[in-house]
Amino acid sequence: MEETPARLAAKPSWLVTQLAVHAHRLASDSFGEVGARGYHYRILAALDEFGAASQAELGRRCNMDRSDVVAAINELAGQGFVERTPDPDDRRRNIVTLTEAGKGQLRRMDQALEKVQDDLLGPLSAEDRNDLTRLLTRLLAHHQRG
């Protein structure tokens, strides 16, 4: 295996990028084992936490492009994990609701994602994991404000 140049390996931006690629692969593989994708998790989690929402609202909350939201909702509806009904206040808009089957799928996905966290952060103590999460949260919040 080739060594990474020291000046590159010492850059947090490079390290975060490399780890993000690895984390994405782990999560994708794990979600695949329960017949799901990352976009599904975002939508199901948002519906569980915030309740029924329009497709546009879900896109904003989940930081997803409108076409990706529509495709993911189509897949989730086809599996019975969400229901889509016309908004009584605006018939041009759909309201998406989490079903009981969707809650079950979200629990399976939560378990899959917990295993990913353990794999990804295996060498870190619980305190280090909390510190890393706190620092990453602070950085993300700073860059999202701009």
Taking only the tens place, the pLDDT of each residue in 46-65 is 999 999 999 999 999 999 99
CA–CA dist 32, 17 (Å, integer): 22
Q: What is the pLDDT of residues 135-145, one digit of tens each?
A: 999 999 999 88
Q: What is the structure's pLDDT at 89?
A: 85
How would residue 90 be classed by pLDDT, with cut points 50, 70 and 90? confident
Q: What is the structure's pLDDT at 92?
A: 86
Full set of structural domains in the chain with CATH: 18-145 (1.10.10.10)
The closest alpha carbon to 39, from 5, 16, 73, 6, belongs to 73
Q: What is the structure's pLDDT at 106?
A: 98
Q: What is the structure's pLDDT at 51?
A: 97
Question: Residue 69: exposed, middle, or buried by beta-carbon count in 10 A (0-12, 13-18, 19+)?
Answer: buried
Q: In what helix (H) or strand (E) does residue 132 lie, and over which residues does it extend?
A: helix 126-145
Q: Tell me the average pLDDT of the chain.
A: 95
pTM score over 0.85: yes
**In the chain, what is the straight-line distance between the N-terminal and C-terminal CA atoms, in Å?**
39
The answer to whether the CB of 28 falls within 8 A of the CB of 37 is yes
Q: What is the structure's pLDDT at 1?
A: 59
